[in-house]
């Protein structure tokens, strides 16, 4: 089942500048795996070599952060939209 994946500007370099694309998968993990298979530059950008979501990346299914769902095993339904955003942080000290 293909779902829409929306990418932040920093990752678009790996997908020929596209801001969103359709990727097949039944779970978030499968979609991210297929995204990396179809676009090798994406490998390791969202999920590390151990298969763990990177700390400074937030992944949403519609309005929900997958860290509060079933992480990468979160199941998808037709029409779901996955949004990937960087965690934005810093500070003066």
Partner 1 sequence: MLHLPAGIYQQILSHCLSGLPEEACGLLGGQFATAEVFRCYPTRNVAASARVYTVDPLEHLKADRDAQACGMEIIGVFHSHTHTEAYPSETDVNQAPDPLWHYVLVSLRHPSPVLRSYRIIGGNIAEESVVLKGH
Determine the 3-state secondary structure of 19 from DSSP.
Answer: coil
d(CA 17, CA 55): 24
CA distance 93 to 84: 28
Helical (H) or strand (E) element with 38: helix 28-38
Using the rule CB under 8 A, is 88 a contact of partner 1? yes
For partner 1, the closer CB: 79 or 92: 92
Q: How far is the CB of 73 from partner 1 (least distance, A)?
A: 20
Q: Judged by CB under 8 A, does residue 91 bind partner 1?
A: yes
Mask 12-41, x = binds partner 1 (CB under 8 A)?
A: -------x----------------------
Q: Give the whole-angstrom CA distance, residue 74 versus residue 80.
A: 11
Contact 39, 23 (CB under 8 A): no
Per-residue interface string for the shown chain with partner 1, residues 59-78, x marking contact by CB under 8 A: -x--x-x-------------
Instruction: Name the site residues for partner 1 (rule: CB under 8 A).
Output: 6, 8-10, 19, 56, 58, 60, 63, 65, 83, 85-93
């Amino acid at each position: 089942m293909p779902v829409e994946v929306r990418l932040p500007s920093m990752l678009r370099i790996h997908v020929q500048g596209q801001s969103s694309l359709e990727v097949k998968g039944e779970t978030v993990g499968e979609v991210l795996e297929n995204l990396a298979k179809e676009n090798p530059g994406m490998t390791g950008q969202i999920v590390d070599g151990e298969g763990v979501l990177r700390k400074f990346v937030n992944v949403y299914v519609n309005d929900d952060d997958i860290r509060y769902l079933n992480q990468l095993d979160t199941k998808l339904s037709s029409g779901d939209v996955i949004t990937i955003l960087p965690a934005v942080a810093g500070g003066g000290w």
